[in-house]
Structures are given as C-alpha cells and as structure tokens.
A and B are shown apart, each in its own frame.
Chain A
C-alpha cells in the first residue's frame, strides 16, 4: 500500500465518518428490533446471544470480560492506596483525602497519603476501561445478531473453532493488528493523554512541596494563560524564552537538514564520479564516521574546541589570539552567534555520511537512458545535474528530508553534548543554543516543572505537526507519487 493511501485512505472514497456513525445508530435499533431473544438479552448480559445460539466458548469469553470490568468498576481494587473503578473517576477531581506523613517511631514508617499522579493516571485507565466495555458490548450484540442472520438464511452459526479458523484466514489482519493497537493505546495514547492532562495541573516540584508530597491540583487554563501574561516563574520562563527557542529550533533544523542533505549529495556525486579510483575506500572511510558512536564524536569535538584544546592552543601559540575563544558558548559571556554557527558546522560531520550513503544508492538507480537522451540533445553536465539528478534525488528523498527535519527539531545529542544549551541567560533555564527538546529536558528533569514541560510540549506539537503536514501534503512526493514509477 502506498504511503498516500496509508495516510489518507478515505480522502476521496467511502462513506464519511458521520455517515458511518449514523449507520451504527440505525443498525443499533435494527439489531434490537430484528434480533432473537438472545440478541435482545445481549444488550444487558454480554454473550447471552452466543449462549442462545450454543456458542458457549465465545459467550463465556464475552461474559468474562463484562464480569471483570464490572468487578473493577464496583470493587475498585487499588495500588499504592489509589483505587481504580468508580472511585478513580471520583478521584479525577483531585480532591485528595490524606496528606499522609505521620511518622511512627516504633515501626519507623510513615502513613501513606494520596498520590495525585496515580489518581489522574488511574482515572484515565478507568475511562479507557469504560470505552473497552462499550466496544465489547457492541461486539457481543453484533456477534449474536450475525448468528441470528445466519440462522435466518439457513446457515449454522459459526462455531468457536470456525471463528478461530476465520481469524487465521480472511480476518488474519485483525489478529495481527490487535496486539499492536492495544500496545499503541497503552504505550502511546495513554501517556499522551496523561501528558496533556498535566498541562492543566499544578504538577511541579515547587507547588507540590507546598501542598504536600505527591499532591497537586487542577489549574484550568492558568498554565496556558501564564505563557501569554508571563506571570509566575512558569509563565516567566515560557513567555520570554519560548519564541526565541522556537525560532532557533527552526533555524537549526533547517540548516542542519539542508547542510547535511546537500553535503551528502555532493559527497555522493564526487564518490560516484566515473573515473575515480578507490571508490570503495572512500565510501568505507565515511561510513566509519557512522560506526563511531555519535556522542563520542561530539565529546571529542567539544574537547578539541575547549579553552585548552588544540584549536585554541594553536591559535594562541601562533599569536593570532590573546585569550581562548569560546567556540561553544560554555560561558555566559561567550558569543551566542558563534556557538550557533559552530554547532551547525559540527553537526555536518556526523550528519553528512548518512545522506551520502542513501544518495549513493539513489544515484545508482537513476536510469542511464535519461542521461544518454540528454547527452544526445546536447545537454551539459551542469544542466543534466539540475534537470535530471537533483529533481530525481529530491523527489525520492522528500519523505526522508521531512523526517530528517523533524529529527533535527528533536536533535538532543548535538546540542546537549556540545554546548549544553549555552551560553546561558541569567534567570532562565533556556540558553542561547537550547532547542525545544533540550529546554524541555532542563525544565522537567532538572527543575521538576512537569506542567511547564507539558505546556511547551503541546505548543511544540501543534506547530511542528502543522508545518510537517502542510509541507508533506504540498510536496511532489505526495501529490505525484507515481510519476517516477
């Protein structure tokens, strides 16, 4: 399946979301009216219809799921004094019941208090369980109704064995995709929802110490408003530093992407040039730079450019400079512009070989007859490069270019290991070369301001997702996918 089809499978065909939803509701009434007594009972007791049609295993499985979810909802089992179930829904208000912290000198233990982090998390897990409950409810009714329909046309309802066989045959895709979807829900969707929720709380290490250990409150839109008004330490940091950091992040991403991209293409063209001896040796040499772990290369460069590193020593010994140059902005008084230029240049060292490798493969696949035809028409080498080679490479590598751009927006290593975000600005966490991602690291890991981090994360997502989607949807690789097939 093409990328285009994966991204927008229903752009031009099939019923709309609204139509599909409407059909579900109309089916719901139809199923209840036309269904057997078993199907009608399935609306209340999961699997009743399957039992009615003697599909005992299937019915038992539906019933088991219903019983398990209802048991969790009613009996509210708890972990670390924090319950699931209806109590978890109630706890979503974050009205904590106990601050804890009473010390018993005999046992040497504290009494445990409420944990708002778990209260929010378990609340969302409970909501997810309710969604699962209704999903399975619908499946149970559908299953029974399908058996009704089979009976009507004189077919015997499928046995559990037949269902399993179908799952291994015509519905194999469902078998394969289900674990992936469950994993995505648990490991991607739930943490994302949790992170978004944190942006609306007072979850940071300072406010929590005022309220008590593990306690925080809902803040409404106060964190977002603070970004625009600059109020409080949170608003102050984000209000004053968000736009400069965002701006530099984009400048960095554009330069880091384009320098490595075109540097890689040029290198690949040089290495693939006809008549060049030792192509394999050159290719291997550049691949070796990939083989060395990136952080080692970056730390080595940091030392080379240090105050007592070889570069400063040579310049001072030659009498060209009187005192060391702060290439990487490691002191607050060092030049921010120089540090920015340096990280872009150093990044080329670690980035170009990747593009070179990929472009080499693409260059070898450009049909030779294109060049031959151009030569017959009298095209020069330069013209052939701009009219054939470059458009072909750009067309094929547009998705790579976009993913590389996004990768550079989140390029933690290059900045953190080279400049540490410096030069620093007094009073702010975000330094002159900090990207959004390194800033987020400082704000959350160093400062424990998780709600600020969540706000920055949401803003970043909105901006980068918009730019990426617009760029990709307007690219030739998307609109003229089959042109070069």
Chain B
C-alpha cells in the first residue's frame, strides 16, 4: 500500500511538472477565434467598448465580436516586445514606439487604401512625419493617430493667481508666500524632461535643439543632425539648476507621488507639469474648483545663467517646451491574417473624427486630427464641456505649438534615449550630481558651465548613436 501511494504520488508530481510543457510551445499558432481584441488606455476602455458595440449593431455583417480592454499605454510597447503573442489584435501606443515595434515585427503595416487616405486627410503634417517606418527598405504606414498629447501646467488656483501662473518667477513668488515649492513634474522620464530641453525663446519660438533633423526614414539610412548643447540649452539648464536650489523653486516629484505634492492639504508644491491623462488625479488632489490649467510658464535667464555664453543674453525669456506626441492604433503582427482587413476597417472607424470628438467629450482625450480646436470651442460655447476641460484642451493644443513630436529613426535610437539613461543625465544636471561616461570613465561635475555642456553633449550623443562617447571632443561646439 505504501509503495502504491508512493508511485501514485510520483506519477501525480510528474504529470503536474510536464503539464506546463504541453500545448503552447513557442510561437502561438495563428488562429481566428472570431474575436478582435483591442487595447486602449485604461481611462477610455468603457467608452471604446461602447463605440465598438454600436459599430457591431450598425454593421451586422462585420463577422467578428470585439473585446476592448484598458491597459497602461506606457507599458504596452514593453509587453508586446516581450511577448507579441500575448497582446491584443489592435493595440495603442505612443507614436515614438513605432520604430521599435515595426523593426521587431511586432506590428503589421497598414495597407488599406481607404484608411491610409483618411490618415493623410485628417492629420497634421507633424504627426504624418512620425507614423511611418521602413521595413526591408519599403516605407509603410504603421500607426493611426487618434489622441494627441502634450505637457501643460496644472496649478493651485487658491494660492496662485492667473498672472503668477504665467511664469516660473511668478510661481516662485506665490510659493514664497505659501512657504512651499513652486513647481514639480509628474516624473523624471524622457517625456517629462522635455519641458526643459525643448524650451523655446518666447520672441521667435526658436531653439538650437535638433533631433534627427533631415534623417532618412529607411532602416540604416542617414541619421540627420542632432544638437542638444547649444548656448541657449546650456543657459536654460544653468537657470534651472539655480531654480531647483531655491527653497521655493523646483522639486522632483516625491516618493509618494506628484499628486501628494500637489495635494491641497500637504501644500508640497503649487503647480505641476503634466498631461491630459493626469486630469482626474490633479482634480482629486486639488478639487476641481481649485484646479487651474494653463501653458507651461515662461522664465527669464539671469546674468549668472548666461555667464561665459555668447549665444544668449540675460533677460532672454523662454517658455518650457514639450514633446507633442500622438497615441496611435497599431495592428499586432501575430494577429490572424484572416482578421487583417476587418482590423483595418475597425481602426478606420475608431480613429474617425466623429469618434475622436466623442472620446474628447466622454474621456477628455484631446483629438489628434487637424482643426480639432474649432470643435472644442464649439463644445465649450454649447456648454458640453466644463471650464476645466476647455482650459485643458486649449492648453494642450496651445503647447503643441511650442513642441515637436518625438522623432525616431531606425529600430532603436529613440529607445536608446530612454534606455541609455539620457533622461537621468538631464536630471543629474538639475541636481548637480556626478554622471559617468564610458571608455575613459570620466566623472564630470555638473556645477560648471563646461560640465553642463558635456552632460548635454552626452545626451546628444545618445540620441545620435545609442551609446555614450568614449571621449569628449577637445572643444565642444556650441551648436548652430
């Protein structure tokens, strides 16, 4: 009996162990189960499920069920590159992931002519320039924009006047009165860091910053020109260093989250630079009646920040910049080929102007199509949206004029900007902490003008080469 029990136990354990090996070995077999699965942002899942249900009711011959799931769109690209077979048929990502997803064959090109025509007709040039990628020397449309996103300012109306919110200096004045910090950002990642590195001169909206300007879109093509260490950028970071050192200046988001800083009870900061997807959290932290929304403020360079620089002068005023990106629908390369035509048909509907408008009304997603501002104004005039929603849309669309969509080339270079830690170098400049470089492993201090310029050159080099330089040029050019 004992032996029989032992044998049965061993058999059971062996079966359990090997059960895990059965079935799903390697790449999932392509199968069409009659369902098209769609991943959208968590905040819009309910809305898009409703839209899809309506579409199915109106198109009974569509032939597929549609299941919509809300996902953290920031992590979707990572999920897909790790295991494309586990992802939905149609998914949503920010456009700067297109290069990587296309080159790793995690996305299918869009080939439906009607959809391509809709994308071409509806979208601004800036977006049209960043939704194509190359595959084996052929250029294809990969992403279909349907939400635009840019950074702007949320502030505490109870403690900051509208006039004070227009400049960093005004915010500091309010912070001194309140005994707290003036401003923070929602995170220190590459997207949020754009508020400083993409700052532009107020007079003519100029900046010396260039990222892949004139680059080819073909894999392995010319990378164009990049520049991140012009005199204006160096001066902006030196100004920001001083502002961060001020007891009532800039602070990084606390470990409890930026909303804890903004919270009206904590009074950690008076304002935060964020996006439309932070609207609900910011409202919860301050209460909608206290929530002010406007463009990212301006700041004026001090004599100390321009010392030793020739391309800028004290008194030059800049406005914080932003990556003005778009969220796109993409098709999973592992989706069954029999679904391909219907997936494109569905995307055409979901990205139409009509659905983008409804998405704005119901989920506060600012549309990506050209001229959406007139629809937003009309909605406000008709009382369809609140004042906060109106201000948020206006601020975001206003900031789009002060920003650029994140450019990307080939398969990985934009990813390198993040993964090779360019954003943490930018943070190190603000914090005046050391940063390492490869090769000669020079540890530079970011206190000096030369240190700031070298750190910015490091960021530029990462953009261009995906590596940190083995050594710095004897003389760093100031940039054109």
Chain A residues at the B interface, C-beta cutoff of 8 Å: 79-80, 100-103, 105, 107-110, 118, 168, 172, 175-176, 179-180, 182-183, 186-187, 205-206, 209-210, 213, 230-233, 236, 240, 302-303, 306-309, 324, 326, 328, 330-333, 424-428, 447
Contact A332 B412 (CB under 8 A): no
Whether A426 contacts B428 in the complex (CB less than 8 A), given A103-B140, A209-B103, comes out as yes
**B246 CB to nearest chain A CB (Å):** 13
With beta carbons under 8 angstroms apart, the residue of A187, A306, A425 that contacts B255 is A306
Contact B425 A427 (CB under 8 A): yes
**B290 CB to nearest chain A CB (Å):** 18
8 A Cβ contacts from B200-243 to A: none
Provide the bound-state CA to CA distance between A108 and B252, in Å. 46
Provide the bound-state CA to CA distance between A79 and B27, in Å. 9
Provide the bound-state CA to CA distance between A102 and B135, in Å. 8
8 A Cβ contacts from B403-442 to A: 411-412, 416, 419-421, 424-425, 427-428, 431, 433-439, 441
B360 contacts partner chain A, Cβ-Cβ < 8 Å: no
**A335 CB to nearest chain B CB (Å):** 13
Contact B17 A108 (CB under 8 A): no
**B71 CB to nearest chain A CB (Å):** 18
**A278 CB to nearest chain B CB (Å):** 38
**B217 CB to nearest chain A CB (Å):** 16
> Which residues of A lie under 8 Å from residue B255 when comparing CB positions?
302, 306-307, 326, 328, 330-331
Contact A101 B109 (CB under 8 A): no
> Which residues of A lie under 8 Å from residue B284 when comparing CB positions?
none
B382 contacts partner chain A, Cβ-Cβ < 8 Å: no
Provide the bound-state CA to CA distance between A326 and B340, in Å. 52
Whether A172 contacts B3 in the complex (CB less than 8 A), given A103-B135, A209-B412, A328-B255, comes out as yes
Most chain B C-beta atoms within 10 Å of own C-beta, residue among A100, A179, A326 = A179
> Which residues of B lie under 8 Å from residue A326 when comparing CB positions?
255
The 8 A CB mask of B343-370 against A (1 = contact, 0 = none) is 0000000000000000000000000000
**B198 CB to nearest chain A CB (Å):** 21
B105 contacts partner chain A, Cβ-Cβ < 8 Å: yes
Contact B254 A108 (CB under 8 A): no
B274 contacts partner chain A, Cβ-Cβ < 8 Å: no
Q: List 7 A-B pairs, minimum CB-CB distance, nearest first.
A: A108-B340, A307-B254, A330-B255, A426-B435, A105-B111, A426-B428, A427-B436
> Which residues of A lie under 8 Å from residue B7 when comparing CB positions?
175-176
Provide the bound-state CA to CA distance between A172 and B10, in Å. 12
Could you write out 15 A-B pairs with CB less than 8 Å apart? A103-B109, A108-B337, A172-B6, A179-B13, A213-B105, A230-B441, A307-B260, A328-B255, A331-B252, A331-B255, A332-B433, A424-B424, A426-B436, A427-B421, A427-B468
**B461 CB to nearest chain A CB (Å):** 12
**B278 CB to nearest chain A CB (Å):** 18
With beta carbons under 8 angstroms apart, the residue of B100, B109, B427 that contacts A105 is B109
Most chain B C-beta atoms within 10 Å of own C-beta, residue among A100, A180, A233 = A233
Number of A-B contacts (CB under 8 A): 134
Contact B17 A213 (CB under 8 A): no
**B316 CB to nearest chain A CB (Å):** 28
B25 contacts partner chain A, Cβ-Cβ < 8 Å: yes
Contact A183 B17 (CB under 8 A): yes
Query: Which bucket holds chain B's interface residue count?
Result: 35 or more
B256 contacts partner chain A, Cβ-Cβ < 8 Å: yes
> Which residues of B lie under 8 Å from residue A233 when comparing CB positions?
420, 438, 467-468
Whether A428 contacts B466 in the complex (CB less than 8 A), given A80-B27, A230-B441, comes out as no
Contact B136 A102 (CB under 8 A): yes
Task: Give A178's nearest chain B residue, CB to CB.
Answer: B10
> Which residues of A lie under 8 Å from residue B434 when comparing CB positions?
426
B129 contacts partner chain A, Cβ-Cβ < 8 Å: no
Contact A427 B424 (CB under 8 A): yes
B333 contacts partner chain A, Cβ-Cβ < 8 Å: yes
Contact B105 A426 (CB under 8 A): no
Provide the bound-state CA to CA distance between A297 and B438, in Å. 40
Contact A308 B260 (CB under 8 A): yes
The 8 A CB mask of B1-26 against A (1 = contact, 0 = none) is 00100110011011001100100011
B249 contacts partner chain A, Cβ-Cβ < 8 Å: no
**A475 CB to nearest chain B CB (Å):** 32
8 A Cβ contacts from B17-43 to A: 17-18, 21, 25-27, 30
> Which residues of B lie under 8 Å from residue A105 when comparing CB positions?
109, 111
Provide the bound-state CA to CA distance between A118 and B27, in Å. 11
> Which residues of B lie under 8 Å from residue A175 when comparing CB positions?
7, 10
Contact A308 B266 (CB under 8 A): yes
Task: Give A108's nearest chain B residue, CB to CB.
Answer: B340
6 further A-B contacts with Cβ under 8 Å, apart from A105-B109, A303-B256, A427-B436, are A101-B136, A107-B337, A176-B7, A186-B21, A209-B412, A307-B256
Provide the bound-state CA to CA distance between A379 and B333, in Å. 79
Contact B431 A332 (CB under 8 A): yes
Provide the bound-state CA to CA distance between A330 and B187, in Å. 13
Provide the bound-state CA to CA distance between A421 and B345, in Å. 46
Whether A426 contacts B256 in the complex (CB less than 8 A), given A206-B466, A209-B100, comes out as no
Provide the bound-state CA to CA distance between A172 and B7, in Å. 9
Provide the bound-state CA to CA distance between A326 and B109, in Å. 48
